[in-house]
Amino acid sequence: MSRPAAETRALARTFLAQTLGAEGDSLLLEHATRDDVLARLAAAGRPSPAARPLAPDGAAGLEVTDARIAEAADLRTLAQLVAECSRCPLHGTRKNPVFGEGAADARVVCVGEAPGAREDETGRPFVGRAGRLLDQLLSSIGLPRASVYICNVLKSRPPRNRDPLPQEVAACAPYLERQLALIQPEVIVAFGAFAARTLLETKSALGRLRGRVHRYAGYPVVVTYHPAALLRNPGWIRPSWEDLQVVRRMLDGVGEGEARVG
Ligand code: URA
């Protein structure tokens, strides 16, 4: 029986990461079969991938450490680290990493939970039904999608959209931290309880977190419903829009105190 596609992709990624990590001159993969490549590696005196030890979790030897993430000079470099990341097992089941997208100097960063099926297919955040609703909500406060930055706590899709596990969040959190430090937004909007609880390090219910401005690493954080929850509960769309009005007022220079809801 053939290997599942995700496993094959993970092996290919591991192979390429190890190949790129090998010292010496460059290796041309174009038109080369697997055996050609292994033969060239052997001829060059490099251990073949099969002979080289893997990191403990089966990841490639080029580990993405917290330090490498914290030192990423720009979003492009950081996205490259996510692409080669194997800090949690989700890299083996995802189709594509979903780093995030938008303006590097965005005034607003929107943070969701984790990629869903459509995001996993495309490598882009919030592109399914929930994403279309998010776009409409942002437009309603005068923020076209292209003007903001959109990302998630997790950069890989959990299988069958299950809740992210604590170790997955711990592995991925430094990426979000660095994204925010590079963008330096004026406001962060946490969409849904998961993003809010992760950013604010709290277990509080969403209802208790809405309606006031919080702080994450010095940045103001506004909490609102997740667009997917709004699709299930259209009655929450109006309260969500009111949360986003707070963001609008903050961008318009109204003090945070005045911007508070209620
Ligand atoms: N839900 C999320 O939290 N993020 C996405 O990117 C898509 C759906």
Q: What is the pLDDT of residue 255?
A: 65
* Residue of 110, 119, 124, 135 with the most ligand 1 atoms within 8 Å of its CB, for mutation: 119
Tell me, yes or no, whether 102 and 37 share the same domain.
no
Residue 188 sits in a domain whose CATH number is 3.40.470.10
Structure tokens at 253: 């220079």
3-state secondary structure of 111: strand
**Distance from the alpha carbon of residue 99 to the mean position of ligand 1, in angstroms:** 12
Q: 209-259, pLDDT tens digit by residue?
A: 999 999 999 999 999 999 999 999 999 999 999 999 999 999 999 866 555
Pocket of ligand 1 (CB under 6 A): 112-116, 119, 125-126, 128, 130-131, 152, 228
Q: Report d(CA 20, CA 203) in Å as an integer.
A: 42
Is 51 among the domain residues?
A: no
Is 59 among the domain residues?
A: no
Is 72 among the domain residues?
A: yes
Is 52 among the domain residues?
A: no
Q: Which domain holds residue 8?
A: 1-13+27-46
Which has more confidence, 60 or 109? 109
Tell me, yes or no, whether 8 and 82 share the same domain.
no
Tell me, yes or no, whether 136 and 230 share the same domain.
yes
Q: Where does 72-140 have alpha helices with state H?
A: 75-83, 117-122, 129-140
Q: Specify the number of domains making up the chain.
A: 2
Tell me, yes or no, whether 90 and 140 share the same domain.
yes
3-state secondary structure of 215: strand
Residue 101 host element (H or E):
strand 101-102
**Distance from the alpha carbon of residue 129 to the mean position of ligand 1, in angstroms:** 10
Q: 73-106, pLDDT tens digit by residue?
A: 999 999 999 999 999 999 999 999 999 999 999 9
Tell me, yes or no, whether 130 and 187 share the same domain.
yes
Q: 20-55, pLDDT tens digit by residue?
A: 433 333 344 444 445 444 444 444 444 333 333 334
Tell me, yes or no, whether 134 and 73 share the same domain.
yes
Q: 158-176, pLDDT tens digit by residue?
A: 999 999 999 999 999 999 9
Does residue 127 surpass a pLDDT of 80?
yes
Tell me, yes or no, whether 90 and 37 share the same domain.
no
Which ligand 1 atom is nearest residue 124's CA? Answer: 6
Residue 151 host element (H or E):
strand 149-152
